[in-house]
Amino acid sequence: MNKDLPIIIKKIFINPDPIIWQGIWLVTLENLLKDREMLEVWEELLQMFKARHSEGSDLQLNQYLKWEIKAFVAQIVNLKIANKGHDVFFLTLSVYFRKKGVSMNNNLIAKIYKVINEK
């Protein structure tokens, strides 16, 4: 785990449940957590989801962030498993964020793809 990760990200994934986080799920999570390229992505995700939470949610902020961050990682793992290439990854992740009511910079989506597929 990268020591420069935002504290909330560290807390969410400090002791991942071994029933869920094994095999490609664990490898992908570890890649996302250790790569310095992801620091900007994690910060952006937190900002987007905090803003979305402020628009109205029944969950406490920390629980909401935990839910959304884990859902994001699950989406990335599923895209990694599907392995349909850059264009499908990009489009699918863009649609995912749109459904969540947030928008991520295209350069950050490209970074995510690079981290999980090219390193």
Q: Residue 90 falls within a domain, yes or no?
A: yes
Query: For the residues 2-14, what does the mean pLDDT come to?
Result: 95
Q: Residue 91 falls within a domain, yes or no?
A: yes
Residue 61 — very low, low, confident or very high, per pLDDT cuts 50/70/90?
A: very high
Residue 1 — very low, low, confident or very high, per pLDDT cuts 50/70/90?
A: confident
Q: Which sign does the torsion angle of CA 9, 10, 11, 16 carry?
A: positive
| The two structure tokens encoding residue 90 | 């990009």
The answer to whether residues 77 and 37 touch, using CB atoms and an 8 Å cutoff, is: no
The answer to whether residues 29 and 5 touch, using CB atoms and an 8 Å cutoff, is: no
Q: Which residues, 6+ apart, have CB-to-CB distance to 51 below 8 Å?
A: 102
Q: Residue 106 falls within a domain, yes or no?
A: yes
Q: Residue 11 falls within a domain, yes or no?
A: no
Q: Residue 4 falls within a domain, yes or no?
A: no
Domain count, the chain: 1
Q: Residue 68 falls within a domain, yes or no?
A: yes
Query: For the residues 34-52, what does the mean pLDDT come to?
Result: 96
pLDDT at residue 57, rounded to an integer: 84
Q: Residue 8 falls within a domain, yes or no?
A: no
Report the C-alpha gap between 109 and 114 in whole angstroms.
9
Report the C-alpha gap between 62 and 20 in whole angstroms.
21
b/e map 7-44, b = 16+ CB within 10 Å = ebbeebbeebeeeebeeebeebbebbbebeebeebbee
Residue 118 — very low, low, confident or very high, per pLDDT cuts 50/70/90?
A: confident
pLDDT at residue 115, rounded to an integer: 95
Report the C-alpha gap between 18 and 25 in whole angstroms.
10
Q: Residue 102 falls within a domain, yes or no?
A: yes
Range of the domain at 26: 18-117
What's this model's pTM, rounded to 2 decimal places?
A: 0.93
Residues, the chain, total?
119
pLDDT at residue 119, rounded to an integer: 66
